[in-house]
Every structure is written in structure tokens, then in C-alpha cells.
Amino acid sequence: MWTEADHSLKKTFKFKDFSEAFGFMTRVALLAEQMNHHPTWTNTWNQVDIVLSTHDAGHTVTDKDRKLAAAIDKMV
């Protein structure tokens, strides 16, 4: 589940290892570039923390964030 806090959507993804985590990140990168909407995200080993927010809209959660979140969820 994505949580909404600090004007952002947030979700933590855990994987088996770094390889699985970075394979996921590469696919999120493809989505982000395709949608022209990019996350702020942090990775440590098997964990990826994604934060979505629309800077052009004054740092709020918009449809762009919800669409990217849904596309990411559809992938895992």
C-alpha cells in the first residue's frame, strides 16, 4: 500500500537481494521516462523506498503520481 504523507505518496519495496532490487529499479526507470514523471527514491541492498510528488504542482500529490504508483504496482 502507498501511504500519503508530507504531500507525497510513499511505499517501501523489499526484494531477495540487490540484483532483484536493481532489476525492479530499472523497470521503474523505464516507466518514469515513459511517463515523463520521476520518483525520488532510495536504495539500500534489497530495499527500495519510493516517494512520489509533483514538483510542478507545488509539491503535491497529483494524478501523475497516482498513475506512476499504479503502473509500478502492476509490475511487481
Which are the contacts of 40, defined by CB distance < 8 A and separation ≥ 6?
A: 50, 51, 52, 53
Sign of CA dihedral 25, 51, 66, 57: negative
Which 1-60 positions form the footprint of a second copy (CB under 8 A)? Answer: 18-20, 22-27, 29-34, 36, 38-45
Size of the site for a second copy (CB under 8 A): 25
The nearest distance, CB 3 to a second copy, in angstroms, is: 19
**Site for a second copy, rule CB under 8 A:** 18-20, 22-27, 29-34, 36, 38-45, 75
